[in-house]
């Protein structure tokens, strides 16, 4: 049987509709409009695309959107001042500093200067610690989106073997914590893992988040497993004509889809869920700030 395609685009639209409904209630019942501030330092083209998309979707669900675009040479002190002002702005409930930052800026220092309760990325060390100890926290958006799709597909994840490929702070590590929180048996694999194919073959759930195009072939996948592909890689596509490119994930889609029970496509899988979860986190932060 061909794999079920997990439609992240449709799922994200449902999440956004729920967020919009919640925003309307907050406005009508309490006169509160959730506000999200995005800070972009420099001109990284991919980051500019993400930030534009975040701003557009924030407005579409009825929230206030603020963008701070700072030039690539911005000093750490100036960036920290922008964040401090947002921390103290009662109309801002969520703050996101787009990563990566230019090299002269200390990413950890900058992230940890965001008020933890406004850290809608869930990257602040307090939120990392809260998540790791199973306490209420802000949860990183991409892993949260993956978890929502997995719960929707499986119902309970309890007792399932999950392999997360990739150990980044943004995806791999928080993904593993979330799966553990749902009582999976979790393995985090990475570039030094021995016999990665064997490790992946044991998994009922595979989350690929390494940033290496089509790295996971179908013959690593246990028949019927669920494959969540976090990768977004741009490859040349000479078959589409001169200079054309295509997006591919970290798994080889055709061969994995032939074996898996369910799989997320790229594009249209995990990607759209990330921003939807960011909007949901902003509403959560707003509700917590207002009791």
3-class SS of residue 209 = coil
Q: Report whether 166 belongs to an annotated binding site.
A: yes
Biggest CA pair distance of the chain: 57
What are 119's strand-pairing partners? 95
Q: Judged by CB, which is closer to ligand GUN: 74, or 142?
A: 142
Residues that bind ligand GUN (CB under 6 A): 96-99, 121, 141-142, 170
Whole-number Cα distances in Å, 171 to 73, 102, 167, 235: 28, 21, 7, 22
CA distances from 251 to 76, 211, 213, 225 (A): 38, 10, 7, 13
User: Considering the complex, what minimum distance in angstroms separates the CB of residue 41 from ligand GUN?
Assistant: 11
- Which residues have a Cβ under 8 Å from the Cβ of 34 and sit 6 or more positions away? 23, 26, 63, 64, 93, 94, 282, 283, 285, 286
Alpha carbon distance 16, 212 (integer Å):
30
Q: Which two tokens stand for residue 183?
A: 């009582």
Closest-approach residue to ligand GUN (CB): 99
Please, what is the minimum distance in Å from the beta carbon of residue 9 to ligand GUN?
18
CB 162 within 8 A of CB 225: no
What is the tally of helices (H) and strands (E) in the chain?
10, 11
Nearer to ligand GUN, 111 or 260 (CB): 111
Q: How far is the CB of 257 from ligand GUN (least distance, A)?
A: 25
Least distance CB 142 / ligand GUN (angstroms) = 6
Catalytic residues: 54, 98, 121
- The three-class DSSP label of residue 44 is coil
Q: How far is the CB of 238 from ligand GUN (least distance, A)?
A: 28
Backbone angles phi, psi at 11, to 5 degrees: -60, -45
Contacts of 18 (CB under 8 A, 6+ apart): 280
Which residues fall in the annotated binding site for NADP(+)? 166-168, 232
List the binding residues: 166-168, 232
């Amino acid at each position: 049987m061909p794999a079920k395609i997990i439609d992240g685009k449709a799922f994200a639209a449902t999440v956004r509709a729920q967020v919009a409904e919640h925003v309307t209630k907050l406005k009508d019942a309490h006169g509160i409009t959730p506000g999200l501030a995005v800070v972009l330092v420099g001109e990284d083209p991919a980051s500019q695309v993400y930030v534009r998309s975040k701003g557009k979707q924030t407005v579409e669900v009825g929230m206030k959107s603020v963008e701070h675009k700072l030039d690539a040479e911005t000093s750490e002190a100036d960036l920290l001042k922008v964040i401090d002002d947002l921390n103290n702005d009662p109309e801002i409930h969520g703050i996101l500093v787009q990563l990566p930052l230019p090299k002269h800026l200390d990413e950890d220092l900058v992230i940890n200067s965001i008020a933890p309760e406004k850290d809608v990325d869930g990257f602040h060390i307090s939120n990392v610690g809260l998540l790791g100890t199973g306490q209420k926290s802000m949860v990183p958006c991409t892993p949260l989106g993956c978890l929502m799709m997995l719960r929707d597909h499986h119902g309970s994840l309890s007792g399932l073997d999950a392999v997360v490929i990739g150990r980044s702070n943004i995806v791999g590590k928080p993904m593993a914590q979330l799966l553990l929180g749902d009582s999976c048996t979790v393995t985090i694999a990475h570039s030094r893992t021995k016999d990665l194919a064997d490790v992946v073959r044991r998994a009922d759930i595979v989350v690929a988040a390494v940033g290496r195009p089509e790295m996971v072939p179908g013959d690593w996948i246990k028949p019927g497993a669920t494959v969540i592909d976090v990768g977004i890689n741009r490859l040349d596509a000479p078959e589409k004509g001169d200079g054309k490119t295509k997006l591919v994930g970290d798994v080889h889609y055709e061969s994995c889809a032939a074996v898996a029970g369910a799989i997320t496509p790229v594009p249209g899988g995990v990607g759209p869920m990330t921003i939807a979860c960011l909007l949901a986190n902003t509403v959560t932060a707003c509700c917590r700030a207002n009791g």
